[in-house]
Amino acid sequence: MKTRITELFAIQHPIIQGGMHFVGYAELAAAVSNAGGLGIITALTQGTPEKLTDEIKRCNQMTDKPFGVNMTFLPTLTPPDYPAMFQAVIDGGVKVVETAGNNPQQWLPMLKDAGIKVIHKCTAVRHALKAQKIGCDAVSVDGFECGGHPGEDDIPNFILLPRAADELTIPFVASGGMADARSLVAALALGAEGINMGTRFIATEEAPVHEKVKQAIITASELDTRLVMRPLRNTERVLNNAAVTRLLEKEKALGDELEFKDIIDEVAGVYPKIMLDGDMDAGAWSCGMVAGLIDDAPSVKVLIDRIMSEADAIIDQRLSGLRGA
């Protein structure tokens, strides 16, 4: 399948693996790229330029296909060394950077000079237009369904994607609620040039997370996510568990007086305990409503091949068959 996204990133299939904390390691990124998609290493999981350099080297040893690095800008008392992190990306020969969390404008000149394509994650059309204006090559449009941070507008993809198509001239991919061939074909029909999948890729053989995480996604329904940190205007969609229930009770009790320090035990430093150790009640972790569409954990290649073959069938058989003679 050929779209503006496959052309832009020199990939076979219009499928991108989203950057995910303590999930986006070289093993998963290389598997996605080898299967024809665009794999993404998560820079902040590595934490330092030196570790990111090593992870990029590992990925280059596992694939000769294009892959990207996610760089998320988060408010923190001790921010990472972003200039050195970006230099590690450039020195490692990475061809694509996915940015998220804040405006990436100050980093674009050094990335453009290195011939790197930039795709920015956006939860609103106005943010996507800003990304286009400052020179991003593409955007990932994240609907309200998505795991992680859906923004504060609460616009689902059935509205957000065609709105983006109406306004943007650069290509965009759909993120949030993407899991299978139906997702891909629907996203293309709504104006996207491909899809970005996060939660779906966690439930794969190559995802370097604890088996309990994969099983939690497989057994979850579309009713099992919750929105946390809304009072702080830092909304995150997470899979429900004991820690999330406790967090929501704190939010309800404290109301407008809630501060980040009140919920720090439920959200800070929990990802290694969950993703690596399998402690499923250690804290809140990002998961999309799309978990309700996931019932297996195949290899990445089987998953991507299945999506593409079934997408062809939907387009060539079901949709074409709906046309009158």
Task: Specify if 171 maps to a domain.
Answer: yes
Q: What does the pLDDT read at residue 306? A: 98
Task: Specify if 101 maps to a domain.
Answer: yes
Judge whether residue 325 has pLDDT over 60: no
Nearest to 24 by CA among 215, 271, 255: 271
What distances in angstroms separate CA 114 from CA 90, 105, 205, one per listed residue?
6, 15, 34
Tokens of 100: 């998220």
Tokens of 108: 């674009």
**Section 237-242 average pLDDT:** 98
- How many domains, the chain? 1
CATH classification of the domain holding 153: 3.20.20.70
Task: Specify if 156 maps to a domain.
Answer: yes
Q: How far apart are the first and last CA of the chain?
A: 26
Judge whether residue 193 has pLDDT over 90: yes
User: Distance between CA 19 and CA 43 in Å, rounded?
Assistant: 9
Amino acid at the residue 112: K
pLDDT band for 323, please (50, 70, 90 cuts).
Answer: confident
Task: Specify if 294 maps to a domain.
Answer: no
| Residue 66, helix vs strand vs coil | coil
Task: Specify if 321 maps to a domain.
Answer: no
**Phi/psi-derived region of residue 148, left when phi > 0, alpha when psi is between -120 and 50, beta in every other case:** left
Q: State the pairing for strand pair 117-122/195-197.
A: unpaired
Nearest to 64 by CA among 34, 41, 43: 34
Task: Specify if 104 maps to a domain.
Answer: yes
Tokens of 249: 């009770």
pLDDT tens digit string along 66-93?
Answer: 999 999 998 776 789 999 999 999 999 9
pTM of the predicted model over 0.75: yes
Task: Specify if 305 maps to a domain.
Answer: no
pLDDT tens digit string along 114-165?
Answer: 999 999 999 999 999 999 999 999 999 999 999 999 999 999 999 999 999 9
Q: What's the chain's average pLDDT?
A: 96
Task: Specify if 303 maps to a domain.
Answer: no
| Residue 19, helix vs strand vs coil | coil
Domain extent, residue 126, equals 4-207
User: Distance between CA 197 and CA 307 in Å, rounded?
Assistant: 12
DSSP alpha helix (H) spans, the chain: 4-9, 26-34, 43-46, 49-62, 82-91, 108-113, 125-134, 157-167, 181-189, 199-202, 211-219, 242-254, 264-267, 271, 300-313, 320-321
